[in-house]
Each structure stands twice: as structure tokens, then as C-alpha cells.
């Protein structure tokens, strides 16, 4: 379990670094013990969030459509 958690944490850190490099999130580091790191969406991140929400809506509607077509066939 320890190794899995470590790998998972490394993946999360890699993804956050990529999001930061691409201007989707902003990283803030605070000089505390232990060090505190916070992330927040940038304006680009909020626009992306809206796009993803639209894709989710489409996916839900499409799933319902596919179910209704399959039931009638």
C-alpha cells in the first residue's frame, strides 16, 4: 500500500506541474512547517472547467439517447 500511495502522489504532482505550466492552475507555496502548497484555477482553468461541464452534459444526454434507441430496437 505504501508504494501505491507514493506512486499515486507522484502522478498527482506531475499532473499539477503540467497544469501549472499550461496556465490552467496557479501554485502558491507558503513557508510553514510542513510547507503548505495550494493550487487555484486561473481564468483559463475556469474556462476549461466550463468546457468540461458542457462535455459532461452532452455525455449524460447522449447516454440517455443511446439507452432509448437500444430499448426501442
8-21 residue pLDDT tens = 999 999 999 999 99
Give the residues across from 40 on adjacent strands: 26
Q: What are phi and psi of 70, to 5 degrees?
A: -65, -35
pLDDT digits (tens, 9 = 90+) for 17-62: 999 999 999 999 999 999 999 999 999 999 999 999 999 999 999 9
- Secondary structure (3-state) at 34: coil
Amino acid at each position: 500500500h505504501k508504494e501505491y500511495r507514493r506512486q499515486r502522489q507522484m502522478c498527482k504532482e506531475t499532473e499539477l506541474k503540467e497544469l501549472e505550466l499550461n496556465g490552467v492552475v496557479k501554485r502558491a507555496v507558503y513557508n510553514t512547517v510542513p510547507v503548505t502548497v495550494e493550487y487555484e484555477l486561473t481564468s483559463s482553468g475556469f474556462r476549461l472547467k466550463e468546457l468540461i461541464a458542457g462535455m459532461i452534459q452532452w455525455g449524460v444526454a447522449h447516454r440517455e439517447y443511446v439507452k432509448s434507441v437500444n430499448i426501442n430496437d
